[in-house]
Structure 1
Amino acid sequence: MLSAEKLIILDRDGVINHDSDAYIKSLDEWVPYPSSIAAIARLSHAGFTVVVATNQSGIARGYYDEATLQSMHGRLIALVEKEGGRIAHIAYCPHGPDDECQCRKPLPGMLHQIKRQLGLTSLKGSWIVGDSLRDLQAGEAVDCRAVLVRTGKGIKTEAKGIGLEKAHVFDDLAHFVDWMITTNQ
């Protein structure tokens, strides 16, 4: 039985792969950070369940379609599995910021979807790792512990200093994973 304390929820762009203000619109533009795939596999090996929750408003904006998004996620899953790891679920919001959906972070809709998908009654004590305040706010709404990484938009988010009082801050996903595995042995 999965416990929420062993659940790690990752944002995608800026945490796992390079981000772009022009959006990641194709498989060729989806480029993982050098250490992120191995870091995800290490979490799996250490008994953590890894999921992804990602806003993908580029779909609503017409920059790419769901088939393109699925090809990116397929590549992510294949790379992680090649390293011996596993991603249990990928939740994404295809809506734009003005669509008034309940899934777009900072709202917690995707996190509720993950909770249902994994058969959990609560996400309290799980971890959310993001590079923006909206990632952490979505996690806070469902009692996740917050982690900000300095990759992607993380340095700018950290510089603002707003809403980070409870967040752990790491240079990147690999440094968080090092800490997480060391403190949970």
Structure 2
Amino acid sequence: MNRPSAVLFDRDDTLVEDVPYNGDPERVRPMPGAREALRMLRDHGIPVGVVSNQSGIGRGLLTEAAVRNVNARVDALLGPLDTWVHCPHVPEDGCGCRKPRPGLVLEAARRLGVRAAECVVIGDIGADMGAARAAGATGVLVPTARTLPEEVASAPCVCPDLLTAVRHVLGDHLRSLRRLS
């Protein structure tokens, strides 16, 4: 894998613990390794962003402001991310942005000024991998208790945790730097 132009993360159960339909910033808890993983990417000059389905908005369980407040808490705990893109729709809306469709990945790449094909998407479920594939990006799955066995089996790359996933993404780049020193 070449050095990515950007790394895009799913939010819930990837960067932070999943609290269903969370609108309370005080309930945000980073996933193990999240701070270090983001620091490593920033140290290598790689922009980072979040692509997240937030159907609680479409279901009337969350407001846009509540999602922005939770995202701001994630930024405060993990350091600012370079872009945030979310889908407020319910699955039945059939929008182009809801993962596994490519809209969130394409929009995040556009905002970061990179090609989607040069991005890596790190997430915990098949919809994250589907969005990466649909956008032409590279997917890396970090399974959790809710990841289905068939999602693991069909993922292009599976890593046991977030830090390992980022080390994998940086792997070729880090090896080439070691050869130069």
Q: What TM-score does the superposition give when structure 1 sets the normalisation length?
A: 0.84
Unaligned runs of 5+ in 2: 175-181
Distance 1:87 1:171, change over 3 A: same
Match of 1:168 among 157, 164, 171: 157
1:30 equivalent in alignment to 2:24: no
Q: Name 1:130's counterpart in structure 2.
A: 123
Q: 1:96-136, CA deviations, whole angstroms, 9 ceiling, x for partnerless residues?
A: 1112221111111112211221223x311321111111111
- Alignment deviations for residues 40-89 of structure 1 (CA, whole Å, 9 cap, x no partner): 122111221111100000111122211111111111112233xxxx4110
The percentage of aligned residue pairs carrying the same residue is 30
Distance 1:66 1:4 in 2: 34
Give the structure 1 partner of residue 169 of structure 2: 180
SS state of the match for residue 41, structure 1? helix
Among residues 80, 85, 91, which one is paired with 1:91 in the alignment?
85
Distance in 1 (CA, whole Å) between partners of 2:93 and 2:3 is 30
Task: Say which SS state the counterpart of residue 59 (structure 1) adopts.
Answer: helix
Q: 1:56 aligns with which of 50, 54, 57?
A: 54
Alignment: residue pair count? 173
**Offset of 1:12 from its aligned partner?**
0.5
| Map 1:9-48 → 2, pairs under 5 A | 9-20=8-19, 22-48=20-46
Name which of structure 1's ranges 33-42 and 51-60 shifts more when overlaid on structure 2: 33-42
Give me the TM-score of the superposition, normalised by structure 2.
Answer: 0.85
Q: Is the 8 A contact 2:48 2:81 kept in 1?
A: yes
The 2-side partners of 1:125 and 1:163 are apart by 24
CA contact (8 A) 1:16 1:32 kept: yes
Q: Is 1:101 aligned to residue 70 of structure 2?
A: no
Question: 1 or 2, which has the higher helix percentage?
Answer: 2
Specify the SS of the correspondent of 1:168. Answer: coil
Q: Structure 1 stretches (4+) deviating beyond 4 angstroms?
A: none
Structure 1: segments with no counterpart, 5+ residues: none
Match for 1:90: what amino acid?
Answer: W
1:73 to 59, 64, 71: 71
**CA pair 152-114 structure 1, distance change in 2 beyond 3 A:** farther
Calculate the aligned-residue CA RMSD, in Å.
Answer: 2.1
Alpha-carbon distance, 1:149 to partner:
0.1
Alpha-carbon distance between aligned partners in 2 of 1:174 and 1:152, rounded to the nearest angstrom: 17
